[in-house]
Amino acid sequence: MPITFEILEKDIAGRLGKLKAGDKVIRTPALLPVINPHLQPVTAAEMKAMGAEGLITNAYIFSRSREFREKALSLGLHQVLGFDGLIMTDSGSFQLSVYGDVEITNMETLEFQNAIGSDIHVPLDIPTHPDSDRHQAERDLEVTMARLREAKEHLGPDAPLAGPVQGGKFLDLRENAGREAGELGFTFCPIGAVVPLMESYRYGELVDVVMSAKKGIPISSCVHLFGAGHPAMFALAVAMGCDIFDSAAYALYAREGRYLTPSGSAKVQELHELPCPCQVCRTHTVDELMKSPERERLLALHNLQVSLAEIARIRQAIQDGVLWELVDERCRGHPQLLKGYRALLNHGKALEGSDRVSKRRFFYRGAESCERTEVRRFQALLDRLVLPSSVLISLDGREFPGFDLTLPFKPPFGPFMDELRETFPIGQSEIPDWDEVMVASGCRGILRLVETHRECRIVVSCQERWRDIVERMVPGIEVIP
């Protein structure tokens, strides 16, 4: 049966959805924890008990394993791992990126994935390191696309296939690869070879790569960000439109003695408290955890619970229409995440088409809030206002005779009709005391009104402290101090 994806709710480019592969259905956004049959600090049954609806394992490891190959072929993955939810299998591309070669072909891995009962099969795509040159990226992408076509031709249009999107750091290659994957009929599109960007905190580049791939991938397709596993970046990735994540980070961090939080990580021996409500943290002190012979396993349990809880928090944020607030909060946990947040705001025009029209609230949190989709959309719609011949925009609440209409002003949005005072976003926005950045943002709204209503006389009244900003942002505007 083909993979299907149903979108239920949206916020920014994030989606609440249902991903169906065969008879398995999971809610998205979702995290698929990586499980290695040979190393299981957290078992599949424990993952399910924590709320994991799906997981991912490596078909190449199974195919090369003396212990598990025949068991998987005879019993199937679900029985071997003791998990009745969705199981996705990677093809061996990870090993290919690490070791440069694997002893399996594209069709061999796909046939093996099918034989062991994987719910989502991945062709043997070629991951291109972000620092590779264009020639290498084009050559790798050509092989990847040939293998995607081969998979569709041999397994048929209804096979549960993923269509990885490669292209290195070259944005046009990413966009073209996403478009071609969609034209081939892939409804599940992982964006690959981005782990090096995340490992080196190059979140600004990550945003550009993902947003470029998203331009080509059909909006109805489920998007998987391969190898993303740190909870601090989930909200940013979901805001870009990523629906599925997978990672062994919960176990890898535990092996290094690192304790995950929603905003970062710390070496457990440097902690004085375990600031988490999970069972591990409520039943152990730092000293007890450090001395435990099961320290790695206990840390892995904690790390995975934190990661799954963050995914649940993001789903709720999408439902409530407050994903921007969560993105803002998480991305202030690290300077490079903040850089990624700002890079995402540069794609505001692309995000406007995906974002919902009305939300629960708008909290102003600083200069970045001025670039949010709600502000951009509000200002873009000011050209729809039908205005009389003379209009006063009042930044200070004053009214003067001789004007046909007085428009109130609320930064960072700008002027608005008084009838819209209780509607979104004006009525549902909370802002602190005015500052220069938010007033300048609101002046973009005034400029928009002036440029689209040239037949009107538009005058601004404001306190002296804002006059320079108004005159700088709206050249030639008449100001009443």
Note whether residue 384 is domain-resident. yes
Query: Based on the domain organization, do 264 and 411 belong to the same domain?
Result: no
Q: What domain count does the chain have? A: 2
Note whether residue 156 is domain-resident. yes
As a whole number of angstroms, the distance between CA 191 and CA 188 comes to 10
Banded pLDDT at 103 (limits 50, 70, 90): confident
| Residue bearing tokens 């989709």 | 373
Report pLDDT for 32: 98
Is the separation of the CB atoms in 330 and 337 below 8 Å? yes
Query: Based on the domain organization, do 324 and 422 belong to the same domain?
Result: no
**Closest Cα to residue 238, out of 6, 10, 7?**
10
Query: Based on the domain organization, do 310 and 397 belong to the same domain?
Result: no
Q: What would the pLDDT profile of 178-196 be if each residue is shown by its tens digit?
A: 999 999 999 999 999 999 9
Report pLDDT for 104: 81
Q: What would the pLDDT profile of 353-408 be if each residue is shown by its tens digit?
A: 899 999 999 999 999 999 999 999 999 999 999 999 999 999 999 999 999 999 99
Question: Residue 197 belongs to what H/E stretch?
Answer: helix 195-199
Query: Based on the domain organization, do 338 and 391 belong to the same domain?
Result: no
pLDDT at 416 over 70: yes
Report pLDDT for 97: 57
Residue type at position 109: T
DSSP state of 128: P
Strand 14-21 relative to strand 222-225, pairing: unpaired
Q: What would the pLDDT profile of 66-100 be if each residue is shown by its tens digit?
A: 999 999 999 999 999 999 999 999 987 666 655 55
**Helical spans, DSSP H, in 321-435:** 323-331, 335-345, 348-352, 373-380
Note whether residue 467 is domain-resident. yes
pLDDT at 200 over 70: yes
What mean pLDDT, rounded, does the chain reach? 95
Q: What would the pLDDT profile of 212-235 be if each residue is shown by its tens digit?
A: 999 999 999 999 999 998 999 999
Query: Based on the domain organization, do 344 and 472 belong to the same domain?
Result: no
**Helical spans, DSSP H, in 5-127:** 44-50, 59-64, 69-75, 77-81, 93-99, 106-115
Residues belonging to the active site: 90
Domain residue limits at 140 = 4-352
Query: Based on the domain organization, do 346 and 374 belong to the same domain?
Result: no
Note whether residue 357 is domain-resident. no
Strand 222-225 relative to strand 188-191, pairing: parallel
Query: Based on the domain organization, do 74 and 144 belong to the same domain?
Result: yes
Note whether residue 180 is domain-resident. yes
Could you tell me the sign of the dihedral formed by the alpha carbons of 19, 25, 12, 337, in that order? negative
- Which of 294, 326, 352 terminates a domain? The answer is 352
Q: What are phi and psi of 386, to 5 degrees?
A: -100, 115
Report pLDDT for 279: 94
**Closest Cα to residue 345, out of 416, 395, 412?**
412
Query: Based on the domain organization, do 323 and 370 belong to the same domain?
Result: no
DSSP state of 315: H
Banded pLDDT at 330 (limits 50, 70, 90): very high
Note whether residue 71 is domain-resident. yes
Query: Based on the domain organization, do 314 and 340 belong to the same domain?
Result: yes
Q: Please name the residues in contact with 96: beta carbons below 8 A apart, sequence gap of 6 or more.
A: 102, 124, 126, 127
- Which of 295, 319, 352 terminates a domain? The answer is 352
- Which of 310, 333, 352 terminates a domain? The answer is 352
CA angle at 457 for the pair 455 and 459, rounded to the nearest 5°:
145
Query: Based on the domain organization, do 332 and 388 belong to the same domain?
Result: no
Q: What would the pLDDT profile of 36-70 be if each residue is shown by its tens digit?
A: 999 999 999 999 999 999 999 999 899 988 999 99
Query: Based on the domain organization, do 117 and 224 belong to the same domain?
Result: yes
Query: Based on the domain organization, do 81 and 8 belong to the same domain?
Result: yes
Could you tell me the sign of the dihedral formed by the alpha carbons of 304, 355, 205, 329, in that order? negative
Q: Which pTM was predicted? A: 0.94
Note whether residue 65 is domain-resident. yes
